[in-house]
């Protein structure tokens, strides 16, 4: 099964939501003898949804990647009930160093506990250059996905990306009430002091404690003015709800 089922299951949307909401993942690398080695890592994402990792040069998985950059990340949906009822996705690609400031900022907003060692000389940020994905989202919902199904198109969004950090800070400082309404009334999430931790052309990521929820925008945006308009629109919708 690929793409969308007859029942209207949006595989790409489900896969991207898993990726945007993930905080941890199982990282599979290859040992020197070619055997698989799996470890637990924290994960975040770039504006286009590319997964980002913070790895120690002393860790076995990092040494493995220095020899063979091929890797897989397994992300799962955390939910009550049977562990196998939740959706999960396996991402396949190559892990490479990531020097961009957006990776550090977005990672530390999602994992503030990592701030104490993110600047150590033996730690570095990496990204998974995604090649393909395999989604298991329930009975009859097993889908192979290509890179273009998962990664957002950032063409023409340079001004928006440049404004992201300031917009996140502004929304959390001056419009925390609206952010809380997004979570409670548009996503059905528990009430609380939700914060925005990332904005991109397709939506925003909200976090409360260790929980992350994805709020998709009603349309793709590419400029700061469009961002302001869609956030106001969503605030009105949330208040009406």
Give the mean pLDDT of 127-143. Answer: 91
- Topology adopted by domain 11-150: Pnp Oxidase; Chain A (2.30.110)
Q: What percent of the chain has pLDDT over 90?
A: 86
Cα 57 to Cα 66: distance, rounded to the nearest angstrom: 9
Cα 155 to Cα 47: distance, rounded to the nearest angstrom: 12
- Residue 115's CB is within 10 A of a number of other CB atoms, namely 12
Give the mean pLDDT of 81-104. Answer: 88
The matching CATH number, chosen from 3.20.180.10, 3.40.50.2300, 3.30.930.10, 1.10.1840.10, for 158-240 is 3.20.180.10
Torsion of CA 42, 47, 48, 52, to 10 degrees: -20
> What mean pLDDT value characterizes the chain?
93
Tens of pLDDT, residue by residue over 187-240, are 999 999 999 999 999 999 999 999 999 999 999 999 999 999 999 999 999 999
Residues 6+ apart with CB under 8 A from 237: 185, 186
Task: Evaluate if residue 161 carries a pLDDT over 60.
Answer: yes
Q: Where in the chain is CATH 2.30.110.10?
A: 11-150
pTM attached to this predicted model: 0.91
Cα 231 to Cα 221: distance, rounded to the nearest angstrom: 11
**pLDDT at position 10, please?**
87
CA 177, chain centre distance (Å)? 24
Give the long-range contacts of residues 163-171, CB within 8 A, separation 24 or more.
Answer: 163/224, 163/227, 164/47, 164/102, 164/198, 164/199, 164/200, 165/105, 167/199, 167/224, 167/227, 168/109, 168/196, 168/197, 168/198, 168/199, 171/196, 171/231
Record the tokens describing residue 156, joined without a space: 């023409």
Q: Where in the chain is CATH 3.20.180.10?
A: 158-240
């Amino acid at each position: 099964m690929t793409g969308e089922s007859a029942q209207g299951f949006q595989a790409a949307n489900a896969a991207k939501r898993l990726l945007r909401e993930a905080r941890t993942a199982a990282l599979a690398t290859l040992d020197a003898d070619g055997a698989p080695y799996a470890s637990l890592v924290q994960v975040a994402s770039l504006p286009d949804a590319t997964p980002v990792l913070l790895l120690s040069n002393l860790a076995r998985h990092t040494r493995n990647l220095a020899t063979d950059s091929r890797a897989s990340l397994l992300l799962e949906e955390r939910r009550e009930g049977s562990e196998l009822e939740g959706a999960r996705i396996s991402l396949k690609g190559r892990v490479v160093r990531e020097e961009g400031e957006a990776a550090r900022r977005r990672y530390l907003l999602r994992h503030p506990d990592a701030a104490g060692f993110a600047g150590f000389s033996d730690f570095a940020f990496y990204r998974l250059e995604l090649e393909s994905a395999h989604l298991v989202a329930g009975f009859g919902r097993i889908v192979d996905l290509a890179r273009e199904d998962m990664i957002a198109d950032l063409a023409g969004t340079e001004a928006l990306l440049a404004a992201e950090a300031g917009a996140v800070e502004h929304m959390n400082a001056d419009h925390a009430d609206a952010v809380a309404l997004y979570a409670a009334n548009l996503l059905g999430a528990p009430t609380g002091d939700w914060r925005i931790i990332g904005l991109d052309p397709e939506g925003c990521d909200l976090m409360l404690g260790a929980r992350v929820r994805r709020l998709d925008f009603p349309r793709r945006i590419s400029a700061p003015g469009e961002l302001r308009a869609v956030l106001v629109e969503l605030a009105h919708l949330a208040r009406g709800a």
